[in-house]
Each structure stands twice: as C-alpha cells, then as structure tokens.
C-alpha cells in the first residue's frame, strides 16, 4: 500500500482519484508530496486510481503511485478504504460523481469549474450542504488560491493596505489552439466541457479576483467568440488530428465552445472590473495576471512570475513611491515555512500540494474547507451570466445569487 506515514497513531485518509490525465497527474503529485513536507493530521493512503482504460489506468497507477486500479467510478464508492474521492474528469460528469460520493459518505475534492451548468452546480451545492450536516466535507479545486503570492495578496487586501477597491483587471491568456489543425479534443466540445475559455480559464480569474478582494461580482456585460468553427476529429489511438497523423481525407467536427471571452463587471464593494480569457493570445502560454487598484495602494500578480508580487503603497513618501517587487519566498509568507530557504523558488505543482494540505487539515478538524461547493456555484453563476450577456448582444446581466 502506498502511504505517507509519518505517525502510525494518526487517523488514515484513504483516497480514490477519478481520472489520470493532466489534472490527475497534478493531483497525484500533490497527494504524494503533502504529507512529506507538511505535518498533516492524517495519514494519506493513495488507495485507488480510476479510469476508463484498463491498461491506461494500470500504467498510470504504477507511474503516479496508486496502490490499486478500477475502471468504473461507481466501484470506488463501494470501497471501504476510500474516505475521499478526488474528481478530475471532464465537467460533464462532475455532478453525477460528486453527488453520489457525498451521498455515500465520501469527502469530495472536485476540479473546477464545479459543473457545466448552474442547475448541476446548484444540485452539487445542495448535496454538499446536506452531507456537511453528517460531517462529510467537500471543496472545489481552484488551485491558484494556494499560490503563496496570491494568498499574500489576499492578506494585504484584508489588512486594509489597499483601502477601498476601485478597479480589478484580470487576464488569462493562452495560445494552445491557435493552429486551426489542432484536433477537436473534449475541451472543445460543449457537451463535455460546458464552455471553452470562459469556463476553463475564465473560471480561474473569476475565483482568484474574488478571493483576493473578498468581493463578489454582481453583474456583467460580456462577449464571446469562436474563431475556428470546425476542427479535425482526433485520431483515437494517438489524440492527433487525421491530417497531423498523415491520414487521407480529413473529417472535421463543429467546435461548440467559445475560443475567447471578454467581460466587464461590477463588484459588490462598488469597484469596476474587466476580465479577458482566451486561447488565441499567440505567444502567451499561461499568462494569468491580476491587478487590483485601491485608494491606498495597488497589487499586481503574474502567474508566469509566480514567486513575485508587486505592491504599490500610496501612503509612502512621494520621493520613494513606486511598485516594489516582493519575492514571496520567506518562511513568514503563506505556506513557505515547509519548503526551501529564501530565494529558492516554487512551481505550479506546489499550488496543488497546498490545496491538499488545507483540505486534509479541514477534514481532520471537522471544518468545511474552502472554496466550498457554494463558492463553486457562485462562480458558475457568473459564467452563466457572461454567457447570457454575450448571447444577448452584450447587454448588462445581473448575476443570480443563491443563499
């Protein structure tokens, strides 16, 4: 059995992971690592990895460190050695798996966005609320909250260092589907992904800006666009398009999600905000950027310089005012005391390790982890408002809110 045992007296948290691709690998690394750097209050057992391909999941389990494999997630529900289910599947299956897991008494970590629709997300949030009364915990995986510089930004805002928030600007820029010959993978199909850049990467900047500012989006004015309407169908054996794999006549399918989304927003604290999410920013690989302007100062975070936070303090004397670069690697910074000496940088994967640390600590303490399924529902409602606004020629659209 694969374990992270440091103290045999600690209670065990057996984990079942559903999905083993990009996010499954990132989550696996986090489950392997968290207990080796942080003093967790539970012993993590990576008990079972689940995927549809019997051979594929077997190879992945050996590589990623899982003790056993299954090909049907419903069988994971029956495992007495699984207390938590980690869902890393396409959004179309999130609601079914998460609700069944919660009803079976399993804690749940579900990747973002929470679901493909508001109705699915609402059902998940209701199931989570009922399960919480029985001590069953749930959270949605917005990992960028756990980047130390982003958490530090939240702390500075909460401490009043920026004063009243006036403006928020957020971008998430990628270019991985600029080539029109890129195949029609599941992320480009609405029935599986729900939406395109809007839900996949736009959800991240919606959550991150609300996390940093402590304010919620109340209304939006948006537009979306699909630049490449049809794409080659993938070669099922290799994930390539027929043209890329040297095939004959290329069969294509319709792209049923957006390639880019832009929207303006109002925050419940009175500030204005702008958001841009695109997979067509040629030359940009993972350019997530957030700037917050307040009456007393400003913050700027760039994921491609994820160990840095820029801070402007307008209360400084005029002759020394200017954006200062904070290298977020000191032991006093969020999460950093468990890692390396100052100046030794962290990477993308650490955000997932911090996510697992916080989740295990919440489960052990009997607390509801954050972000909650209710938080995930609220992000879904913003996404829905943007989509409705774009469909209605960019008209102003309030964001629906649940209690």
What pLDDT is recorded for position 98? Answer: 98
Residue 4 located in a structural domain: no
Mean pLDDT of 37-58: 98
Read off the pLDDT of residues 79-112 as tens digits, 9 standing for 90 and up. Answer: 999 999 999 999 999 999 999 999 999 999 999 9
Read off the pLDDT of residues 122-136 as tens digits, 9 standing for 90 and up. Answer: 999 999 999 999 999
Total number of domains constituting the chain: 2
- C-beta separation of 263 from 389 below 8 A: yes
- For 160, which DSSP code? T
Residue 6 located in a structural domain: no
What pLDDT is recorded for position 249? Answer: 78
Mean pLDDT of 314-321: 95
| Token pair in block for residue 4 | 């992270």
Task: Give the domain-ending residue among 112, 127, 144.
Answer: 144
| 297 — pLDDT class (breaks 50, 70, 90) | very high
- Smallest CA-to-CA distance from 143 within 268, 282, 23 is with 23
Mean pLDDT of 179-199: 96
Give the distance between the most distant pair of CA atoms in the chain: 69
86 in the same domain as 128: yes
Q: Can you give the CATH number for the domain in which 110 is found? A: 3.40.50.720
170 in the same domain as 310: yes
162 in the same domain as 59: no
241 in the same domain as 115: no
92 in the same domain as 62: yes
Separation of alpha carbons 139 and 296, rounded Å? 34
Read off the pLDDT of residues 232-267 as tens digits, 9 standing for 90 and up. Answer: 999 743 455 555 555 567 899 999 999 999 999 999
As a residue count, the chain comes to 403
The number of CA neighbours under 13 Å toward the Cβ of 139 is 21
218 in the same domain as 121: no
What pLDDT is recorded for position 243? Answer: 53
Read off the pLDDT of residues 7-41 as tens digits, 9 standing for 90 and up. Answer: 679 999 999 999 999 999 999 999 999 999 999 99
Q: Tell whether the model's pLDDT for residue 48 goes beyond 50.
A: yes
151 in the same domain as 138: no
235 in the same domain as 97: no
Residue 1 located in a structural domain: no
Q: Can you give the CATH number for the domain in which 266 is found? A: 3.30.360.10
Task: Give the domain-ending residue among 117, 144, 171.
Answer: 144
Read off the pLDDT of residues 350-363 as tens digits, 9 standing for 90 and up. Answer: 999 999 999 999 99
- C-beta separation of 185 from 234 below 8 A: yes
Task: Give the domain-ending residue among 144, 172, 190.
Answer: 144
153 in the same domain as 65: no
281 in the same domain as 139: no
User: Measured between alpha carbons, how far apart are the two ends of the chain, in Å?
Assistant: 43
Residue 7 located in a structural domain: no
Range of the domain at 30: 12-144
166 in the same domain as 29: no
In the chain, % of residues over pLDDT 90: 93
């Amino acid at each position: 059995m694969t374990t992270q045992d440091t103290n045999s007296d600690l209670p065990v948290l057996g984990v079942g992971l559903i999905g083993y691709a990009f996010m499954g690998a990132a989550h696996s690394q986090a489950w392997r690592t968290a207990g080796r750097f942080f003093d967790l209050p539970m012993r993590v057992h990576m008990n079972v990895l689940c995927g549809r391909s019997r051979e594929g999941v077997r190879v992945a389990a050996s590589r990623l460190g899982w003790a056993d494999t299954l090909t049907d997630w419903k069988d994971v529900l029956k495992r007495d050695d699984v207390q938590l289910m980690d869902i890393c599947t396409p959004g179309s299956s999130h609601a079914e798996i998460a609700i069944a897991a919660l009803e079976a008494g399993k804690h749940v970590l579900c990747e973002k966005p929470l679901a493909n629709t508001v109705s699915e997300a609402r059902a998940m949030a209701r199931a989570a609320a009922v399960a919480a009364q029985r001590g069953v915990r749930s959270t949605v995986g917005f990992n960028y909250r756990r980047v130390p510089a982003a958490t530090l930004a939240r702390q500075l805002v909460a401490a009043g260092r920026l004063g009243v928030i006036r403006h928020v600007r957020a971008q998430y820029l990628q270019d991985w589907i600029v080539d029109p010959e890129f195949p029609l993978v599941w992320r480009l199909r609405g029935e599986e992904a729900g939406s395109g850049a809007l839900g996949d990467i736009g959800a991240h900047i919606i959550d991150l800006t609300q996390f940093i500012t402590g304010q919620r989006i109340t209304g939006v004015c948006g537009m979306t666009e699909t630049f490449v309407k049809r794409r080659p169908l993938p070669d099922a054996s290799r994930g390539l398009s027929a043209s890329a794999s040297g095939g004959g006549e290329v069969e294509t399918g319709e792209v049923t999600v957006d390639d880019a989304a832009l929207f303006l927003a109002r925050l419940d604290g009175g500030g204005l905000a702008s958001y841009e999410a695109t997979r067509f920013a040629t030359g940009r690989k993972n350019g997530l950027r957030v700037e917050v302007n307040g009456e007393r100062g400003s913050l700027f975070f760039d994921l491609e310089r994820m160990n840095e936070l820029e801070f402007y303090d307008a209360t400084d004397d005029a002759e020394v005012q200017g954006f200062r670069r904070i290298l977020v690697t000191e032991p006093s910074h969020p999460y950093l005391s468990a890692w390396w000496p100052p100046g030794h940088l962290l990477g993308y994967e650490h955000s997932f390790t911090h996510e697992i640390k916080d989740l295990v600590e919440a489960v052990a303490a009997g607390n509801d982890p954050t972000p909650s399924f209710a938080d995930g529902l609220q992000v879904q409602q913003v996404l829905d408002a943007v989509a409705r606004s774009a469909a209605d020629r960019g008209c102003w659209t309030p964001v629906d809110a649940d209690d």
